[in-house]
Amino acid sequence: MTSSNDWTIVLMDDEADIREVMTLMLQDAGYQIFSAPDGLAGLDLCRRVSPQIVMTDIRMPGMDGIQVLKALKERFPEIEVIVATAYGEMELAIQALQLDASDFITKPISDSALFLALDRARQRFTSRRQIQEYTHLLEHENARTAQELSAAIAFQKNLIENSIDGILGCQADGRIIIFNRALEKLLGHDRRQVLHRLYLKDILDPQESGRFHSSLAADTYGGQHHLYLYETALIGHDGHSIPVQISATVLKEDGVDSGLVCFVRDLRELRRLEQEMLDQARVLHQDKMISLGRLAASVVHEINNPLAGVLNYMGLMRRILEKGALSVDRQNKFKEYLELVESETRRCSRIVSGLLTFSRKSSPSVEAVQIEDLVNRCMLLSRHKLDLHHITSEVSVAARLPAVKGDINQLQQCLINIIFNAMDAMPDGGSLKIQVDLDTSDRFVNIAVSDTGIGIAPADLPHIFEPFYTTKKEGYGVGLGLSTVYGIIEKHGGTVQVENQAGSGATFTVRLPVVDVNAIVKRIPL
């Protein structure tokens, strides 16, 4: 394979810092790098510089990574595309692979994952280029001598045998006459026991065979007698069904079917990722329930006080009634007690409502959210726990803030996680400060949560947003809180950063994009 100096990469990401860091890293590895802040600019750049590889973020304004991938495969199908996803976006990563992306990498991007993905993309690009060159040779060149013909046949065999994808060729009756090394490895069959002995029906899953041939005859998956990225299943040597993606073409001679050629891609890793996505959703909800349990213990104490007050005021009201007709003074006193009962009951209702909102497992709902309401709700649920830990709190929200775009429940989960993280950093008490303001561009709202705790060790700082990474003792968390925050905020088009001074506290800053000023603002009932 050629050196990295011969490779051109176009990098698409709307974050300038990420583009700068990635450019320096890849240039240092010898690649020629061009970068673009969005999909449209990136596509124009591809047209001008003709890269072999494109790396694109999934979440970008205007034209997202999936749309970029589709456009590239339509206009420049030879380009290999690597997509970058945030933690928790596995569904989009799977969709990208189904659209023939070379690979995907998750943010924060590690060096090893990045260069492994690049090596795979280079290998795929090289294999495809060789096949294209060979096809061009067959279409436009006539072999003039037996030696040239022999060389062409040898080259064809080499291409087939060294293809990353499995290649299967059948005669018109289905007898297998091509079965390359990749397919041999995928299915576990010895090709000597397959070639000219087995038929296509022998390796197709019996439950899929009828659907496969019907789809091949229809024009649904790429046109009649063609299948493009068609998902089915083959039977391995051990009898197990193996999920695969097939692109197939019926071969013709003088208008008559003469055979079938199939390119086969293993989907087991894709299915594993799909299952991982489902497991991830369950674990993330489990982490939320851990936070809910910690909140519930605090809320019990928070509700006890107003309930005790309600019972006392009701007792006083009963005594007033037992004294007979109400004088003006006793009427006023009764009214005062009734207003206090109403006030304390509403307070209990707000606390319980907040707890139910936080616990609810609902589908994401993107709306315009008023940040001040969000902060007040989170502080209402956390206040008693802060008092129990001897932590003072201060909230400062700038006036006339525009709303942000997001899912209320998910944003509340993020802020609660950050507040809990701050409390854990102050085991002997301290001070918590939340400051909300508009950034200088007027396009983002900043939520800064600062504590006076122990800070974050420099060795831990690069890893705190990674899944399952935790500095807490066993039994105090599974290390998903901050990675959950990172994933949710990324999906909201925002960022989360941490500033730290070991031994004197840390500040987590969440940056969320504002909505259109004409949007209807969703207020959280308090």
All CATH 3.30.450.20 domain ranges of the chain, comma separated, are: 165-266
CATH 3.40.50.2300 domain extents, the chain: 4-132
Q: How far is Cα 399 from Cα 438, in angstroms, rounded to an integer?
A: 10
Per-residue pLDDT, averaged over 287-295, amounts to: 60
Which CATH code of 3.20.20.140, 3.40.50.2300, 3.90.700.10, 3.40.50.620 fits the domain covering 4-132?
Answer: 3.40.50.2300
Query: Rounded distance, CA 72 to CA 266, Å?
Result: 23
Whole-number pLDDT of residue 395: 94
* pLDDT value of position 458: 79
Interatomic CA distance for residues 417 and 356, integer angstroms? 16
Indicate the CATH number of 165-266 among 3.30.9.10, 3.30.450.20, 3.30.1330.60, 3.30.1360.120: 3.30.450.20
Asked if residues 59 and 86 have their Cβ atoms less than 8 Å apart, the reply is yes
pLDDT at 34 over 90: yes
**pLDDT value for 475:** 37
Contacts of 1 (CB under 8 A, 6+ apart): 122, 123, 126
**Phi-psi label, residue 403: left if phi above 0, alpha if psi -120 to 50, beta otherwise:** beta
pLDDT band at 511 (very low <50, low <70, confident <90, very high): very high
The pLDDT value given to residue 480 = 45
159-213 pLDDT, tens digit each: 677 777 888 889 989 899 888 888 888 888 888 888 888 999 998 988 888 888 8
pLDDT surpassing 60 at residue 301: no
Type of residue numbered 273: L
pLDDT of residue 88: 58
Assess whether pLDDT exceeds 90 at residue 44: yes
Assess whether pLDDT exceeds 60 at residue 141: no
Give residue 54's pLDDT.
94
Mean pLDDT, to the nearest integer, of 66-80?
90
pLDDT score of 519 more than 50: no
Residues 6+ apart with CB under 8 A from 421: 481, 482, 508
CA-to-CA distance for 410 and 492, rounded, in angstroms? 10
Condensed to tens digits (0 to 9), the pLDDT of residues 438-471 reads 988 888 999 999 999 988 877 777 777 765 455 5
Say which residue, 79 or 319, is predicted with more confidence: 79
pLDDT computed for residue 381 by the predictor: 72
In this structure, which CATH number among 2.160.20.80, 3.30.565.10, 2.60.40.10, 3.40.50.720 belongs to the domain 273-522? Answer: 3.30.565.10
Q: Tens digits of per-residue pLDDT, 351-373?
A: 676 566 555 555 556 788 899 98
Whole-number average pLDDT of the chain: 80
Tell which wins on pLDDT, 422 or 157: 422
Decide: 299 and 357 in contact? Cβ < 8 Å.
no
Which segments of the chain belong to CATH 3.30.565.10?
Answer: 273-522
For residue 108, what pLDDT is reported? 78
According to DSSP, the β-strands at 430-438 and 444-451 are: antiparallel
What confidence tier does 15 reach under pLDDT thresholds 50, 70, 90? confident
Q: Which of 339-343, 360-364, 391-395, 423-427 has the highest mean pLDDT?
A: 391-395
Apex CA 447: angle with CA 444 and CA 450, to 5°? 150
Position 457 scores a pLDDT of 79
* 343 residue type, one letter: S
DSSP per position, 21-88: HHHHHHHHTT-EEEEESSHHHHHHHHHHH--SEEEEES--SSS-HHHHHHHHHHH-TTSEEEEEE-TT
What secondary structure does DSSP assign to 141-181, as a single string? ----SHHHHHHHHHHHHHHHHH-SSEEEEEETT-BEEEE-H
Q: Is the pLDDT of residue 94 over 70?
A: yes
pLDDT, tens digit (0-9, with 9 covering 90-100), for 251-269: 888 888 888 989 888 888 7
How buried is residue 207: exposed, middle or buried, by Cβ count under 10 Å (0-12/13-18/19+)?
Answer: exposed
Is it the case that residue 478 has pLDDT exceeding 50? no
Q: Average pLDDT, stretch 324-343?
A: 82
Whether 99 and 70 have beta carbons less than 8 Å apart is answered as yes
- Residue range 144-166: average pLDDT? 63
Separation CA 220–CA 337 (nearest Å): 73
Reply yes or no on whether the pLDDT at 245 is more than 60: yes
Strand partners, 514: 404
Give yes or no for a contact between 101 and 79, defined as CB atoms under 8 angstroms apart: no
